[in-house]
Structure 1
Amino acid sequence: MACRSRTRSLQLLDTELSADAVEWCPVPPWHDVLACGTYQLLKPPEGVDVESAVPSRIGRLYLFQFHEDGLHCPPLTEIQRIDTSAILDIKWCHVPVLERPLLGMATASGELQLWKLTDTQDGPSGLEMTSCMELGPDRLALSLDWSTGRGDSSDVRVVSSDSTGGISVLALGEGSLAKLSQWKAHDFEAWISAFSYWDTQLLYSGGDDCKLKGWDLRIGPSCPTFTSQGHSMGVCSIHSNPHREHVLATGIYDEQMLLWDGRNMKRPLAETLLGGGVWRLKWHPTQEHLLLAACMHNDFHILHCQQALEGSGEPCSVLASYILHNSLAYGADWSRLPLTGAPACDSQETVEAERATLEMGVHLRIQYESPTASFDTSLEDDMGRYIPEGTQPSPVCAVEATPPVPAGHAPTLSCLMATCSFYDHMLHVWRWDWSLEESGEATSAEGQGGVDGGHGGAAEGGD
């Protein structure tokens, strides 16, 4: 049995400032709301010594609403933009707080901010800040995670990591934050912190000291429950599987994605080389074996982890890759919004519809320039029209072992995705369609594939 996998771009947006975080709202009925955070390091004024200048960082928070209205209408509508301190991470609380969605934001000013989504009769109207907590002086807040990954709203807490190697745990009460504990966890930047969604007294953290650590809040932070030192570079991504107890995924600058059983952290269940520093990992909202990876210098990949989780020891297979971004792949997220439209196919009607869309100029013209200004690339044809991703066939991923079966044993799966990249300051919204085919041979698909080599880098991009 073979799988047929295809990715298709739906819309591309210029965020103006460097984009590094993107999150779909997980709270119904607001699954159509998308937030995007940006980070920009400003160059010192002319004549000011670069070595002595104090870094200046700015950011902007975007809020969008998705409408699946067909080929002739861009699906994203901007609702709001808010100028802020530079944003390092954003995460929606998985459950409503006071009956509203709540967005957490980690900033370069060392603050953890909470923003409440407000509504009108016509739909979402925007975000309002409800709480702000400074983690400490002279630090950047680098990441955050909520304790609510499995939909538990009984004890809502937030964990955040910072540039001094610190970890902070905060409690949420009546929409405001209260600091519960804070400690020094890593020798250098603590790039990432995350809850175990199955036992929220357990925390994980990863840092630029090449260590992955575990913490138990019941015994305090004086000593980690484990320290994994088998990493050659910094640990920058951690995500607990909300569907499968004890399962943890971590990403490293050395281009490896590791799967762990939390009961035995001496060695990983599996290692998968992804060809780029693994900056963000996101488990699928409903499919326990699917994992989305943002791989910095090597694009975005959808991984199937079933065999690895069953103890095969083999690397996870890549089901699909999205390669249209031309800069550091940082932000990535699955939407819980169901797609009503049928997967695109190669019918004459589809070809004509895509041609009509191009003629109307719905898609943006994308001009890429490298950070060093050594080259630029235009994704256009000879007539100056944007060429959407997916028009050129490439080999499909053929799963040699048992192919994935979506929840409910449905023969197909369609997912809405959002990804963003840094230097080109681009936000992409795209869909992934996957299906089983009753055939012994893999067929070609219109999606993108291939994994190119790359190397991890610092999260600031030039700081």
Structure 2
Amino acid sequence: MGWQSRTRSLQVFDTELSADSVEWCPLNQWSHILACGTYQLQKDQEETTVESTTPSRTGRLYLFKFQSQGSFTPPLTEIQQIDTPAILDLKWCHIPVCERPMLGMATARGEIQLHSLVDAQQSSCLEHVSSTELGPDRLALSLDWSTGRGESSDARVVSSDSTGSLSVLSLGEARLNVVSQWKAHDFEAWISAFSYWDTQLLYSGGDDCKLKGWDLRMGPSTPTFTSKRHSMGVCSIHSNPHREHVLATGSYDENVLLWDGRNMRQPLSETAVGGGVWRLKWHPTQEHLLLAACMHNDYHILHCKQAMDEGNEGPCPILASYILHNSLAYGADWSWLPLSSPPPSSPQEPAPACVEFTEPGGHLRIQYESPTASFDTSLEDDSGRYIPDHSPPPEKSTQPCPAPLPGLGDNSASMSCLLATCSFYDHMLHVWRWDWSPEEAETGSGTAETEPSPSS
């Protein structure tokens, strides 16, 4: 008996502007709702002098609903567009606010915006509630809600920004108020996150290559720890909502580290994923599954059971990879919507298991890539399309899956997951599913297989 792992593209959507963040609503009644944020640096074509004004960064917030209607009907429907400042991060609050879902948004204007999801005549839409400025001359780079376990009645937000500062905001009457702000990193603070098990504890990562911890009860003057275990900028952090003390971090150094928060001197495991790790997301219900958006090397699902249970310092197995994006992998999220139906039928003609590029070059491999980087303007043509470099594309991660693949839990069974990912320069949003099932292995190995959509 072997385990079969398969990813399957369901739909591809052109966001027009560069896409960098996607988030499924975590609340049961609205788990079919998906938000996508975009970021576009507007170049002044008439600029002729050396001195120039600050470039304009614009964005657009998309709202979709997902409804499976058969193999030949696109399941994702756009229901709203909102023009905004450029969006760097999106997060839904895990509990209702005023009995409604609440979406937080970090913008290039240095503010945290709140949008409430309302139902009007059986149609959902977002309404702007408030905007809270973090300070002048900064970009808000990330945000995280304290409600990750879905139990907190004290909803707060932590945000990081381009000045290296962290801000903690409290939520009162659907408005955020800054209650604490301090300088945390020497350069950009790419990421900030709560410990979902003790929301007085915060984590942050910056372009100074440092991962830091903070205890709000002790004040922000001194971090509880400073780790230099990552060799490049730290840009993703996520606390495991199912397993206390477990923390995942990612960096431009192309490694995913798992930590026990009680001992931050040495990680539990280290996994090379072949691309800068811009986002990490734990599965909504399966404590061992971790989704990684790996910038220059696509999207991967890691199996972290052995590392979490035994503290194995070796790499976590990669159960599946989604390789159908053609640009930088930034946004990624698991859906909370259960999938009980079988996967869509395969197209009549056999489809290739991977995408091959005939044009020379591929993605330009820049270690310090981010949505805010100034050099992103040199990588686009006049139509905003990505211009590849004429050097060989970066090698894909070749880490094999074990055979047979490990079970998802003590009583492993078939499961299907719905995911959304987005890529930057080609401004594409993909909705796809991952199917994991026990069946007789024909080749004796449990390699993951990726299939394109029958109608993208």
Q: Flag whether TM exceeds 0.5 (same fold).
A: yes
Consecutive unaligned residues of structure 2, counting only runs of 5 or more, are 352-358, 364-378, 389-397
2:338 matches 1:335: no
Letter of the structure 2 residue corresponding to residue 300 of structure 1: Y
For the residue of structure 2 that corresponds to 1:7, the secondary structure is: strand
CA offset digits 1:345-381 (Å, max 9, x no partner): 6xxxx444999xxxxxxxxxxx9997356868xxxxx
Deviations 1:400-449 (A, max 9, x none): 47712358x35211000000000000000000101123559225664269
Correspondences of 1:24-423 after superposition (within 5 Å): 24-49=24-49, 52-124=52-124, 126-310=125-309, 311-344=311-344, 350-352=346-348, 371=379, 398-400=401-403, 403-406=406-409, 409-423=411-425
Corresponding residue SS for 1:145? strand
CA, structure 1 residues 146+375, in 2 after alignment: closer, same or farther (shift >3 Å)?
closer
The 3 A distance-change label for structure 1 pair 233 and 369 is closer
Secondary structure at the counterpart of residue 29 of structure 1: helix
Q: What is residue 437 of structure 2 aligned with on the other side?
A: 435
Q: What is the CA–CA distance in structure 1 between the aligned matches of 2:196 and 2:27, rounded to whole Å? A: 17
Preserved contact between residue 166 and residue 182 of structure 2 (Cα < 8 Å): yes
Contact 2:169–2:180 at 8 Å: present in 1 too?
yes
Q: Which residue of 1 aligns with 2:367?
A: none
Using a 3 Å threshold, how does the CA distance of structure 1 residues 109 and 375 change in structure 2: closer, same or farther?
Answer: closer
Partners of 2:191 and 2:234 within 8 A in 1: yes
Superposition CA RMSD, Å? 2.5
Residue type matched to 2:283 in 1?
H
Corresponding residue for 1:382?
none
- Distance in structure 1 (CA, Å) of the matches to 2:337 and 2:76: 13
- 1:7 Cα deviation from its structure 2 partner: 0.7
Q: CA deviation at 1:338?
A: 1.1
Offset, 1:344: 4.8
1:447 corresponds to: 450
**In the TM superposition, what whole-angstrom CA distance separates every residue of 1:286-333 from its partner, at most 9, and x where no partner exists?**
000000000001100011011111212210111111111111100000
User: Residue 137 of structure 1 aligns to which amino acid in structure 2?
Assistant: P
Q: Which amino acid aligns with 2:82?
A: I
> In structure 1, the residue corresponding to 2:150 is in which secondary structure?
coil
Counterpart residue identity of residue 113, structure 1? Q
Q: For residues 354 and 76 of structure 1, do their structure 2 counterparts lie closer, same or farther at Cα, with a shift above 3 Å needed? A: farther
Query: Which whole-Å CA distance do the structure 2 matches of 1:316 and 1:183 have between them?
Result: 35
Contact 2:334 2:418 in 1 (8 A): yes
Equivalent in the alignment of 1:461? none
Aligned partners of 1:37 and 1:351: how far apart in 2? 31
Cα distance between partner residues in 1 of 2:447 and 2:290: 23
- Where 2:407 maps in the other structure, the secondary structure is coil
The one-letter code matched in structure 2 to 1:255 is: E
1:447 maps to amino acid = T
Using a 3 Å threshold, how does the CA distance of structure 1 residues 78 and 344 change in structure 2: closer, same or farther?
Answer: closer
TM-score by length of 2: 0.86
Pair 1:109–1:403, CA change in 2 (3 A) = same
Separation (CA, whole Å) in 2 of partners of 1:426 and 1:65: 17
1:183, distance to aligned residue in structure 2 (A): 0.3
Q: Matches of 1:402 and 1:75 in 2, distance apart?
A: 30
The two structures have a TM-score, normalised by structure 1, of: 0.85
Deviation at 1:26, TM superposition (A): 0.2
Residues of 2 paired with 1:404 and 1:148: CA distance?
A: 29
SS at match of 2:450: coil
Distance in 1 between residues matched to 2:135 and 2:401, nearest whole Å: 50
Residue 395 of structure 2 aligns with which residue?
none
2:428 matched to which residue of 1?
A: 426
Q: CA deviation at 1:230?
A: 2.3
Code of the aligned partner of 2:290: L
Q: Which amino acid aligns with 1:324?
A: L
Residues 70 and 344, structure 2, Cα contact 8 Å, conserved in 1:
no
